[in-house]
């Protein structure tokens, strides 16, 4: 690829980002469509991430994906977008910074692939975690279900997430057995189970046979939670689905074209094996 001063630069920012597959995914799509752009991963460590994000306009960035721990800061940094958390930023031709959250809709796209009839079978959801991804997923699921329960190790943060939704509720971390037993859909959004992070003994023995189990971690692609759920015969969804579909929605915001999600999964699966 010939990179010039006219090449548009995009990035994923967060801390850490060394594990991210987003550069492989987006640069693959950029090549597919012959676009003059490049996508990189940049660690962002700042005491004032809002100011740091706004300053990236002056460095020539056209758009950003945002991961932990900066999704709240991304929403505050934007000129447009009434959001509490954002994972996509885009500077338009006038330099206006707009914020989007594609996490939730990307999750729904992936869930519809893994369990096409979920809308008729899922009434109660348990989201493990209360960060930016958890909130985005909760926002997308809330209109389609009766209850969205958040269970977080820091209970106050779980309460804050649940308070954003009329049908939001909280569950204490030491009550996960009851939560797993009542849920039609369990969504694990924390770093537990990620490579290099602590493992967790999940109470899957309490699950309903029809419960769907999703984990947004994709390194490893088969987490301990998913491995145990599959052994029980549960319908499962790995973390690549959400990564790809939220990324596809971001790509369409930036470039106005829909990328090939099947080709992306082939590339990313190969990179993980």
Q: What is the pLDDT of residue 124?
A: 98
Which residue ranges in the chain fall short of pLDDT 70? none
Domains of the chain: 8-101+243-272 (3.40.50.10860), 104-237 (3.40.50.720)
Q: What is the pLDDT of residue 256?
A: 97
Q: What is the pLDDT of residue 273?
A: 85
Token reading at 216: 């947004």
- Residue 116: exposed, middle, or buried by beta-carbon count in 10 A (0-12, 13-18, 19+)? exposed
Give catalytic residue positions. Answer: 71
Q: What is the pLDDT of residue 193?
A: 87
Alpha helices, DSSP H, located in 142-183: 155-162, 176-182
Q: What is the pLDDT of residue 112?
A: 97
Q: What is the pLDDT of residue 177?
A: 97
């Amino acid at each position: 690829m010939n990179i010039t001063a006219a090449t548009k630069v995009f990035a994923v920012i967060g801390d850490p980002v060394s594990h991210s597959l987003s550069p492989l995914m987006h640069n693959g799509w950029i090549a597919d469509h012959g676009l003059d752009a490049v996508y990189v991963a940049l660690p962002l460590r700042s005491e004032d991430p809002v100011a740091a994000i706004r300053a990236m306009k002056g460095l020539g960035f056209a758009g950003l994906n945002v991961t932990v721990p900066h999704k709240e800061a991304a929403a505050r940094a934007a000129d447009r977008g009434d959001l509490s958390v954002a994972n996509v930023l885009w500077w338009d031709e006038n330099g206006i910074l707009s914020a989007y959250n594609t996490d939730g809709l990307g999750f729904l796209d992936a869930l519809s692939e893994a369990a096409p009839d979920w809308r008729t079978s899922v009434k109660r959801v348990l989201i493990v975690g209360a960060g930016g991804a958890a909130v985005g997923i909760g926002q997308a699921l809330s209109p389609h279900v009766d209850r969205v329960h958040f269970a977080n190790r820091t209970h106050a943060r779980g309460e804050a997430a649940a308070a954003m939704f009329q049908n939001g509720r909280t569950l204490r971390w030491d009550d996960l057995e009851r939560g797993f037993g009542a849920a039609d859909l369990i969504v694990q959004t924390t770093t537990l189970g990620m490579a290099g992070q602590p493992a967790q003994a999940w109470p899957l023995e309490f699950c309903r046979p029809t419960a769907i189990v999703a984990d947004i971690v994709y390194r490893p692609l088969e987490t301990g939670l998913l491995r145990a759920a599959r052994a029980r015969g549960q319908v499962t969804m790995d973390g690549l689905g959400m990564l790809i579909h939220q990324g596809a929605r971001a790509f369409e915001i930036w470039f106005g074209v829909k990328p090939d999600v099947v080709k992306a999964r082939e590339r990313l699966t190969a990179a993980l094996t």
